[in-house]
C-alpha cells in the first residue's frame, strides 16, 4: 500500500510541481537576467525553486554551515555527487551565490538549458585540453565579487552511494584562478533517487556540510594530486557510515 501511495504521489503531485516550477523558474531567470541584475536573477529564483522541490519531496534538511567563509568572497565549491537531488540540496541550502560547472549535454534540456546559459553557468567539454582552457576562460568571465563556482569532480552520480575518483578539472580551474577550494559533503540524495531510476523515495533526510576553505595561493598543477587527495578525504570523513 505504501508503494502505491508513493507512486501516486510521485506522478500526480511531485512531478507536476517539478515541471511547473522548473518552467516558471527558467522563464524568470531568462527574463530577469536579460533586463535586470544577472547576479540576483541567476541565483535567487533557482534557490527558491530548489527549496520548493525539496519540500515537495517531503525531505528533512540538515545544514552545517561554516562561519570561516566570507559571504562576499568567491570560492570553488567541490562536492560529492550522490544523485539528482544534489543540485536542489546545494542550490537551496548552501547559502552562497553560485554558478555551476556542468556537462555540456545539459544545455539540451528544454528551458533549463537555455536559462542556465543566460544565467552564466559554465558548460564544460572535457574532451580535450583546448576545450578545458575555454571552460576556464568562461569561468573567469562569469565570476564576480560574491559569486562562486560549484563543481562535482566525480563527473557523474554514484552507482553505489560511495564516492568515486575525482577528476582534476575542478582543481585546474581553482589553481589557475587562485580561488580557495571549499569541500562539501552531501548525504542523503542517493536514497531519494538513484542514478537511472525513475522511482523516488519520499520523506528522506538530506544533509549538507560545508568544510573549511583550502587556499590555492602559490599552488600549481603539480600540487593538484595532493589537493584531490585532501579534499576527497575531507568530504568522505563526514559521509554517513553507509556511504563510506
CA–CA gap between residue 172 and residue 237 (Å, rounded)? 23
pLDDT in tens, 75-95: 999 999 999 999 999 999 999
Boundaries of every domain in the chain: 2-243
> Which of 220 and 123 is assigned the larger pLDDT?
220
2-243 folds as Glycerol-3-phosphate (1)-acyltransferase (3.40.1130)
**Backbone phi, then psi, for 76, in 5-degree steps?**
-110, 105
pLDDT at 194 over 90: yes
- 5-9, 72-76, 124-128, 179-183: the lowest-pLDDT one: 124-128
- What is the rounded average pLDDT for all residues in the chain? 92
Say whether pTM exceeds 0.95: no
pLDDT at 243 over 60: yes
Contact 115, 100 (CB under 8 A): no
Collapse the DSSP code of 140 into the 3-class scheme (helix H, G, I; strand E, B; otherwise coil) and give the result: helix
**Which residues fall within 8 angstroms of residue 83, CB to CB, at 6 or more apart?**
157, 158, 189, 190, 192, 193, 194, 195
Q: What is the pLDDT of residue 59?
A: 98
Amino acid at each position: 500500500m505504501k508503494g502505491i501511495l508513493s507512486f501516486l504521489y510521485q506522478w500526480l503531485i511531485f512531478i507536476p510541481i517539478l515541471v511547473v516550477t522548473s518552467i516558471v523558474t527558467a522563464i524568470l531567470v531568462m527574463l530577469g537576467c536579460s533586463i535586470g541584475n544577472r547576479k540576483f536573477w541567476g541565483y535567487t529564483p533557482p534557490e527558491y525553486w530548489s527549496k520548493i522541490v525539496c519540500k515537495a519531496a517531503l525531505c528533512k534538511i540538515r545544514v552545517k554551515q561554516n562561519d570561516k567563509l566570507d559571504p562576499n568572497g568567491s570560492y570553488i565549491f567541490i562536492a560529492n555527487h550522490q544523485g539528482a537531488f544534489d543540485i536542489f540540496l546545494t542550490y537551496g541550502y548552501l547559502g552562497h551565490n553560485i554558478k555551476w560547472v556542468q556537462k555540456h549535454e545539459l544545455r539540451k534540456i528544454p528551458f533549463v538549458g537555455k536559462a542556465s546559459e543566460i544565467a552564466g553557468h559554465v558548460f564544460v567539454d572535457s574532451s580535450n585540453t583546448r576545450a578545458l582552457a575555454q571552460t576556464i576562460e568562461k569561468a573567469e568571465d562569469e565570476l564576480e565579487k560574491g559569486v562562486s563556482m560549484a563543481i562535482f569532480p566525480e563527473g557523474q552520480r554514484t552507482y553505489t552511494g560511495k564516492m568515486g575518483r575525482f577528476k582534476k578539472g575542478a582543481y585546474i580551474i581553482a589553481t589557475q584562478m587562485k580561488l580557495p577550494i571549499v569541500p562539501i559533503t552531501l548525504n542523503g540524495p542517493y536514497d531519494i533517487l538513484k542514478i537511472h531510476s525513475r522511482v523516488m523515495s519520499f520523506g528522506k533526510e538530506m544533509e549538507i556540510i560545508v568544510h573549511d576553505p583550502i587556499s590555492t595561493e602559490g599552488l600549481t598543477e603539480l600540487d593538484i594530486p595532493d589537493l584531490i587527495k585532501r579534499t576527497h578525504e575531507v568530504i568522505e570523513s563526514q559521509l554517513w557510515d553507509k556511504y563510506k
